Amino acid sequence: MKKLFKTADRKGIRIILDLVAGHTSIEHPWFKKSCEPQKNKYSNWYIWTDSVWDWSVDRTHAVGYSLLPVLGYSQRDANFLTNYFWFQPALNYGFAKPDSHKKWQLPVNHPTVKAVRNEMKRIMRFWLDMGASGFRCDMAGSLIKGDVQWKQTTELWKDIRGMFDREYPEAAIIAEWFYPPAAIDAMFHLDFVADGKVDKVPAYSSLFRKEKSRSIMFDRGHSFFDALGRGNIMEFIEIYFRHYNLTKGRGYISFCSGNHDCPRISIGRSRRELELVFVFLMTMPGVPFIYYGDEIGMRNLDLPSKEGAFHRTGARTPMQWNKLKNAGFSTASKNKLYLPIDTRADRPNVASQENDPHSLLNHVRRLITLRKQNQCLCAEGDFAPLYAKSNKYPLVYVRRFGKMKMVIALNPSQQKVDVNIHCDNIRSNWALEMGSGVAVQNENCTYRLKMNGISYGIFCVS
């Protein structure tokens, strides 16, 4: 890690680590000590009931541990709570409202609970001192149990952000909360677009989901970025715009091309369709995240589950760098790889796209350059939709910063569209910076926009 940090720094790259603050493995030394029947320092670092027969764990998950003495794990007469799977025991950050009849539910100010929090801070300092530039915090809203409105959880993260501001002011703290109003209130620098857990409307998945996907993030229905043209952009806009106004100036709402929990965006999409996805990702406010391999169109593989990945496994395969052994990812024998490489001869790879000006990789690079060169396209530029209607195409929006303005028009559907857009505060001609298949006519501040199927335009209007 030291070598990685130093090498990245020389290249002007910052490394942010994934921080899983809410749980450990059952193999962790802390947990093994916590399993012992004799009371010790770690006995309450995890959440255990008072008896192996006690399953009353209101609104949380518990896993029976009564069989584990046979497996050599524990003789402790108790059940433990998990954060997800049975082998992920939840660390004890306390309960927002402990039940007085359940002594094992500790308050957030209990000395043991404070010790867990302080240990997490120590771990963060360890990596920041070594050269890390921040953390993406896994399941950030889940640490304190029974905290329905996240009040105590918010205070916990505010405390950690205070440590960052005092000791590591250049470091970033990123939430995996998927509810930006709560995450930004908790003093995270940024969170990702809502996925429907709170608002019940899957704003993010309405953009990219696939009808046959089993993913929790791409659950059902039609996406807006689909050539069939059956998506509804207002499923996204209504939630996003409300969250944008609630968090603007205090933190960022960010978009990702994908992650380890959802299928790759390449599923069922042509290269041209993927171009439009990246145009959207790179011209929206906030900080864009590109999941490794999406920039070359890596495929989602059909694989058996690996360590609880289930349907998510196929999006976690090794990066494909070239046509050499294991796609240049490793020189090890293929049976030693954690997950297999795409074996198809036409698998996308970086080397093949590097010098191809028409490749998806270079398309993404051009978008990154355009974003960096135009401050209105960056994180803090204002955003306003110009054309966004239920079950209609295209999507048109304006980005502003000072006197600079740019208009982005996207038609992911395969059907041609012809719409009128009224822009009283945009009086200049639209100069095409990037895109094709788009024509604009200006008549007294009414712009007639004609777009071919699967087309886009990025226009400079300042």
Could you tell me the residue ranges of all domains in the chain?
A: 16-20+111-373, 381-460
Residue 199 has what pLDDT? 76
Residue 213 has what pLDDT? 46
pLDDT over threshold 90, residue 112? yes
pLDDT over threshold 60, residue 259? yes
Residue 420 has what pLDDT? 95
pLDDT over threshold 60, residue 219? no
For a pLDDT cut of 70, what percent of the chain falls above it?
A: 93
Kindly report, residue by residue over 376-414, the tens digit of the pLDDT.
999 999 999 999 999 999 999 999 999 999 999 999 999
* Cα 230 to Cα 226: distance, rounded to the nearest angstrom: 7
Residue 71 has what pLDDT? 67
Mean pLDDT calculated for residue range 131-159: 96
DSSP of 51-105: STT----TTSEEE--TTHHHHTS---SS-EEESSSTT-BBB---BSS--TT-TTS
* Cα 359 to Cα 355: distance, rounded to the nearest angstrom: 8
Q: Which CATH number fits domain 16-20+111-373: 3.50.30.40, 1.10.260.40, 1.10.10.1100, 3.20.20.80?
A: 3.20.20.80
Question: How far, CA to CA in Å, does 335 sit from each of 319, 330, 347, 384?
Answer: 16, 11, 19, 51
Mean pLDDT calculated for residue range 87-116: 96
Class of domain 381-460: mainly beta
Under the banding of pLDDT at 50, 70 and 90, the label for residue 217 is: very low
Instruction: Check: pTM over 0.85? Answer yes or no.
Output: yes
Residue 209 has what pLDDT? 76
Q: What number of other Cβ atoms are within 10 A of residue 111's Cβ? A: 8
Kindly report, residue by residue over 311-354, the tens digit of the pLDDT.
999 999 999 999 999 999 999 999 999 999 999 999 999 999 99
* Cα 230 to Cα 393: distance, rounded to the nearest angstrom: 9
Mean pLDDT calculated for residue range 147-164: 97
Amino acid at 242: R
Angle between helix 111-130 and helix 151-167 axes, rounded to 10 deg? 40
Residue 428 has what pLDDT? 76
Under the banding of pLDDT at 50, 70 and 90, the label for residue 68 is: low
Amino acid at 215: S
* Cα 52 to Cα 121: distance, rounded to the nearest angstrom: 32
Residue 228 has what pLDDT? 92
Backbone phi, psi, residue 371, to 5°: -65, -45
Residues 6 or more apart from 414 whose CB is under 8 A from it?
227, 228, 229, 453, 454
Evaluate whether 188 touches 251 at the Cβ level (below 8 Å). Answer: yes
* Cα 432 to Cα 300: distance, rounded to the nearest angstrom: 34
Residue 218 has what pLDDT? 44
